Structure 1
Amino acid sequence: MRPPLDIIYQDDDLAVINKPSGLLVHRSRIASEAREFAMQMLRDQIGQHVYPVHRLDRPTSGLLIFALSSEIATKMSESFATSQVEKQYHAVVRGYLPEEGTVDYPLKEELDKIADAQADKDKEAQEAVTHFRCLEKVELPFKVSKKHDTTRYSLVELTPETGRKHQLRRHMAHLRHPIIGDTNHGDGRHNRFFREHFDSHRLLLAATGVEFKHPVSGETISLTVPLPDEFLKAFQAD
């Protein structure tokens, strides 16, 4: 059984948690084996109904906002839909990323065979924009791929302008700098290297910052959480 959720912020209208990697936001048909969900855990922890207003992928950790009423949920969902919520992520990627840049690369919606069985499979690609900034680089003396005798990684800050499904994972893969631990869009050799050498068994992507206007008071709420320890192991190893 998981320990209690880490509640970063709470008032009469909102609760914000630091969701652990591996925890689903709510029940899903595509993960029928799961028995614990952030929504139910937070409800039981604070003793009232909660309403998710956005999502984080199961393997992604970090800041997750819940409304404490349906009215506030509607207002916050509108803020997300109109890009009034600023989000910041951190990730560890393969290779040396440029110092900074922008990925402006439309994405076709990824459909799940079960959950999206009735969805339009011919829908056009949607606009998707991600800004990135490289924070740290490391070169390690390990031959992970056949081409190189050493291996390189970057710690990167990611700021999405849009919120497409798996946007950050797909954009980093598009740049040929996939996020470590990504089993769908990543590089299995580097994922295995991190498991074996750094005991890292998760996707190295975390939602570390969020800023929005409070739906009732209008006050600017700015929240951050520390980078998980797993993200720093490679950069402390040289």
Structure 2
Amino acid sequence: MTHPYQALPIIFFDDYLIAIHKPSGLLVHRSMIDRHETRFALQMVRDQIGQRVYPLHRLDKPTSGVLLFALSPEIAKLTGEQFQTNNVKKTYLAVVRGITPEEGTINHPLKEQLDKMTDKRADQDKAAQEAITHYRRLNTIELPVSVDRYPTSRYSLVAAYPETGRKHQIRRHMKHIAHPIIGDAKHGKGKHNRYFAESLDAGRLLLACTEMQLTHPVTGEALCIRAPLDPVMLHLIKRFQWENSLPQPWLGGTLVRTRALHWP
């Protein structure tokens, strides 16, 4: 059987850093949570370029998009300081339930979510940490379909800009303002997730890291690394006629052929 992740798309590569487009469903590194998994972005990138790599941040398993690695411990330390001081600007794209305000800032501290297996020795009573996410609504749609208790169903396309980097921050923050991300099994609502999976061919978490801005740790130049949306999210963006709301680099992949708008 051919594995779906034979090679990961490289979107930036020099003597110090490498960025890849991580697909939804791929772990960044080995985890006790998914002990059955045998493929990880860390090992795959290492094997692709024939040298060790050092992850600078993490993306949840179901989240796709920009994933950045350093090529040495020294570069990892230099670049990691930008992440630790919140000087890396990240942009995410999400499809959420309901019509959000046009823009806003979610300033809601988050208590660290510990994994029962991997965080047994962590401080279980650690105080909630500062967590800030800015967001902007890019587009909306109202479908003549009763997914839940209303005769129609409304959704928003949102750009999210996390100022801090807490675990599952965007997912938890969007749930906090009652606009959970579609496809979020933990923080969303099953009826809407199932509708998107079964009727709209979108059976993944609809969250992607589309852009990352930072300072190159050696040259000092400003880097802007972009990852185009994957076919599943592109399919949905096209189907909802939202593509004019997005910059062209985010649409840089090959758009799959979409069906005409038709709601059962």
Q: If the length of structure 2 is used for normalisation, what is the TM-score?
A: 0.87
Mapped to 1, the partners of 2:79 and 2:23 lie a distance apart of 22
Q: Counterpart in 1 of 2:240?
A: 235
Which of 10, 13, 36 is matched with 1:10 structurally? 13
Mapped to 1, the partners of 2:99 and 2:195 lie a distance apart of 17
- Give, as a single letter, the amino acid of the residue that structure 1 aligns with 2:117: I
Q: Counterpart in 1 of 2:145?
A: 142
Which of 148, 157, 160 is matched with 2:159 structurally? 157
Q: Please state how far the C-alpha of 1:227 moved relative to its aligned partner.
A: 2.8
CA RMSD of aligned residues (A): 1.1
Question: For the Cα contact (< 8 Å) 1:208–1:226, is it kept in 2?
Answer: yes
Which of 167, 170, 173 is matched with 2:172 structurally? 170
Q: Please state how far the C-alpha of 1:234 moved relative to its aligned partner.
A: 5.4
Question: After superposition, what is the alpha-carbon deviation per residue over 1:204-230, rounded to whole angstroms, capped at 9, x for unaligned?
Answer: 000000011000111111111223343
Tell me whether 1:82 sits opposite 2:85 in the alignment: yes
- Give, as a single letter, the amino acid of the residue that structure 2 aligns with 1:189: K
Question: For the Cα contact (< 8 Å) 2:23–2:230, is it kept in 1?
Answer: no
Q: Counterpart in 2 of 1:196?
A: 198
- Give, as a single letter, the amino acid of the residue that structure 1 aligns with 2:227: V
Q: Please state how far the C-alpha of 1:235 moved relative to its aligned partner.
A: 1.6
Listed as ranges, the matches of 1:206-225 within 5 Å are 206-225=208-227
Question: For the Cα contact (< 8 Å) 1:9–1:15, is it kept in 2?
Answer: yes
Q: Counterpart in 2 of 1:116?
A: 119
> Gaps spanning 5+ residues in structure 1: where?
none
Mapped to 1, the partners of 2:13 and 2:203 lie a distance apart of 30
Report the secondary structure of 1:71's partner residue: helix
Question: For the Cα contact (< 8 Å) 1:138–1:234, is it kept in 2?
Answer: no
Share of identical aligned residues, percent? Answer: 58
- Give, as a single letter, the amino acid of the residue that structure 2 aligns with 1:150: T
Mapped to 1, the partners of 2:238 and 2:116 lie a distance apart of 36
> Gaps spanning 5+ residues in structure 2: where?
242-260
Runs of 4+ in 1 over 3 A off after TM superposition: none
Q: Counterpart in 1 of 2:250?
A: none
Q: Counterpart in 2 of 1:69?
A: 72
Question: After superposition, what is the alpha-carbon deviation per residue over 1:162-199, rounded to whole angstroms, capped at 9, x for unaligned?
Answer: 00000000000001000000011011110000011111
Question: For the Cα contact (< 8 Å) 1:198–1:233, is it kept in 2?
Answer: no
Q: Please state how far the C-alpha of 1:233 moved relative to its aligned partner.
A: 5.3
Q: Counterpart in 2 of 1:180?
A: 182
- Give, as a single letter, the amino acid of the residue that structure 2 aligns with 1:77: G
Mapped to 2, the partners of 1:116 and 1:234 lie a distance apart of 41
Tell me whether 1:49 sits opposite 2:52 in the alignment: yes
Q: If the length of structure 1 is used for normalisation, what is the TM-score?
A: 0.97
Mapped to 1, the partners of 2:222 and 2:167 lie a distance apart of 26
